[in-house]
Structure 1
Amino acid sequence: MPMGADGSTLDQAIAEMVEGLREYAEDWQDRLLDVPRHRENWGVVWLISLSDDDQLRAWRMGAVLDHS
């Protein structure tokens, strides 16, 4: 799932990304689950919901490092 975040350091950008993921999961559960282009993101929403911030940070850091 593509996502961007800004921060003056990588840690700040990852923290913002984790916050954005949490917000997306809430929005998905509230209203996006029936929107066709978001419907298939249920797995990511589950991952977000079942993970703590450290786990999400490690997951997104892996994604950042894999694409550098």
Structure 2
Amino acid sequence: MADWGPVFVAVVLFILLTPGLLVQIPGRNRVVEFGNFQTSGVSILVHSVIYFALICIFLLAVGVHMYLG
């Protein structure tokens, strides 16, 4: 049986934390902007750090596991 938990968590976090798709931190005009479909180097760095922190929490500390099949 394959453990699909890490794959599911990584895909969901990637979709939610894509800069400019749902939210952009920091935005161009404000600290947080919603749905502007633009990005910058700083926002990519901030979203990458947030992604890394959340994936470490969910996979290492919480231990999300999903067995299919």
* TM-score with structure 2 setting the length: 0.39
Radius of gyration: which is bigger? 2
Larger relative contact order (CA 8 Å, sep ≥ 6): 2
* TM-score with structure 1 setting the length: 0.40
The structure whose residues are more often strand, as a share, is 2
